[in-house]
A and B are shown apart, each in its own frame.
Chain A
Amino acid sequence: MIRFERVSVTYPDTHRPVLADLSFTISEGELCLLAGGTGAGKSTLLRAVNGLVPHFTGGTLHGRVLVEGRDTRTHPPRELADVVGVVGQDPLNGFVTDTVEEELAYTMEQLAIPAPVMRKRVEETLDLLGIADLRHRPLRTLSGGQQQRVAIGAVLTAHPRILVLDEPTSALDPTAAEDVLAAITRLVHDLGVTALVAEHRLERVVHYADRILFLPGDGTLHDGPPAQILATTPIAPPIVELGRLAGWHPLPLSVRDARRAAGPLRDSLREQASPARATTNGSVAVRARGVVVRYGQLVAVAGVDLDLHAGQVVALMGRNGSGKSSLLWALQGSGPRTAGTVTVAGIDPAAVTPAKARAVVGLVPQTPADLLYHDTVAVECAAADREARRPDGSCAALLATLAEGIEPGQHPRDLSEGQRLALVLAIQLTAAPGVILLDEPTRGLDYTAKHRFAGIVRGMAARGAAVVVATHDVELVATVADRVIFLADGDMVADGPTADVMVASPAFAPQVAKILAPQRWLTVADVAQALRKVPP
């Protein structure tokens, strides 16, 4: 179906090719997982499949990409629309029309498929993806998971033989991600569609994959069955790390396989106490009572009482649209708060000037780039020093502790996701707030960047800050959080130590907890420590 023959891609102004001399074939009906760190060339490879590289992006492509026998050199993306369906990272940006039904029909209209056939395929696709009740809904009003399924449906109606998906679950909560992945596997198994999926959160996808293409980042490619590739890769989901630690062979990829292999491990851990995280030991840094946020008729936060303690990391979880962001913004004082009180360090952050508010509570929003508007990192840092009235160089010094390899002359928009997050975090930390709120910080971060970020968060807490992280990433929560708060429909439905809340929930339990239940282990590092081994 897809054949790469000695493909190299070089973008202008770079000295080193993104992909170097790759040759591989993906045959019909394979679900292929494309893994690799940020900047390793995952998107480039995906886009080369339907000719967006180099027709759309520019750059030079050596070698040949054949898709169902069509050469992408002579076929621009639009002429491949009938064989390759591409779903981008942010589905909302790729929508052309404005209602679900029209979006599903759009590709077919371009392909001149007769009207009766179109009608039938739209109905079939609505059912296949379970979105029939959304057919007349405007696309902008859908939740993230629904949008992602519509985006997949919109390319499916053309009956492409190949489906290319770029991080289909990165913005989704675990349950919505399951829905989307289930839809993809169903297509592969029932219709024999060939799927090529790039994903950072391997733990979500790896057990569905037939094969992994791993891009280490030097332009080369490792290609093989998942268990074999993951045995040696530097990035691996927790299940694989646990497998490596316990020396299981072959490496289990699904929780079921791992549980079957984990009997001896559970026995050897039975005598060990799972490590307890810090509980309420610090002083109360934020006291919120009866916080209500409403937008017209919609109640986003329905009267939340909350105490945040210094030195504690709190994870705020809940499905898309459950009020996590609204709560964070209300706590910071910049967002709307319809009722209730918030007291931080003796003041109400909504009642003082923004400059004073950020000196007590710092918030890193979902799109950190919104805060950046200068040409270079150095100017950005200097501006942050002025805004926070700190001595020159404070922000730059902070940034150096959070991330390495950032040149002062770089443009903030040219940084990688992880570096940009570090920059915005440094800017917010320059004001030295005692409370840090992070809204969905790990979106788009690879495992390496995420490990780094987890270290930063623990470091902030160790220095006495109260940290709140709103996230969908259960593995991150397992790694960093002392306490988990679960929101649903604006209400707090669970609040307790991480182990208590996470282990009890089937959807939100981290992989290690699922494998070692009923014992309460959350991360591979904890297990490794208990076994007195160094973590892999």
Chain B
Amino acid sequence: MTPEQQKHFDFVLLYMRQLNVRPKTFSIIEAAYFSGYEAKSDGITGPGQFDFGKLGMKNPLGVAHDWLYFMGDKNPLLPKKSSWRKSKIRVRLWADNWFRAAMFDFGYGLFAGLYWVALRLFAYRAWMSHRNRNHPVPIDTLPDVR
């Protein structure tokens, strides 16, 4: 983690505390940043980074959602119930649902449904890309995304 990434991490933690987000939103984003995945993610792909683009940052929701896809069913933060862990289809559904709920926490509630539908329709390819590359692997072995 570079000093700049550390600054982003600190800022995101502060921002989430100010917003008083849900614990699940907080813990996933915290874990994604702590593991250093910000450098490996492109944030929210396509439409933009909402307000974070102006700050020169990737959107934390995009980073965390990418991290959830990267980790797949190996994620220790998945629900304890085994039915959510055994099925890869349900793991992806859980990740997309998490993103939708987190969008409400971050104040993008108006777009939450739209983005959720977009993820359900178009993110399967990204999910399979991670699975075909046998992810998760150590994050330091991945190339950086600028």
A binds B: no
